[in-house]
Amino acid sequence: MIYLHHVTITTGHSRRSSRADASDEAIAAVAAWIQAALRQPGPVPLMPPFGDYVAQALTTDGALVVTLYGRAPQVGPRLPLVSMAVATRSRHGRDLWDVLLKGAPRALPHLARPPAPWCAVTVHPTAPSDLEALSWAADFELVVAWAWITRHPDIRGVA
């Protein structure tokens, strides 16, 4: 069985999860959202019931990077809440891990890159502006990661 290493690089919190931790329905909905988000430039609304939120997705060297933004304020731009990177193989995340640690606000530089697959998360300093989103963001990160991982049928051990 393969496990996802879910690490928050701004706090050091780490969790190992199995594919069973994300429902098939959630993965299917998020996989469709990822496909749509990768085809469009800029942030894209999330699926219901989170349609007030947007996120931007891009790929780099086989890895997925997603930034979740808060609700639209009455004045000013949407604020970034969390950014996540998902590497399905060690070669996908080799350089990305270093970029994340160097570029993330308040990242813990001593963290070692976990074995792939992994999902590394940066909590932005603006995240406390939307505590409601923070209550479900970790679950969203987990489902995004498994949706990205399971789209690659050549990864052994993924059921």
Reference 123, options 2, 21, 5, 10; nearest CA is 10
Per-residue pLDDT at 157: 42
Nearest CA to 82 out of 15, 134, 12 is that of 134
| CA 5 from centroid of its chain's CA atoms | 12
- Calpha distance 48→64 (Å, rounded): 22
The helix/strand/coil state of 113 is: coil
- Report pLDDT for 101: 83
Mean pLDDT per 10-residue section of the chain, whose length is 159 residues: 91 92 94 94 91 94 94 92 92 83 76 92 91 93 95 50
In contact, 105 and 125? CB cutoff 8 Å: yes
Q: What is the pLDDT of residue 102?
A: 79
What pLDDT is stored for residue 152 in this prediction?
Answer: 58
> Rounded to an integer, what distance in angstroms lies between the CA atom of residue 48 and that of residue 53?
10
Domain boundaries, the chain: 4-150
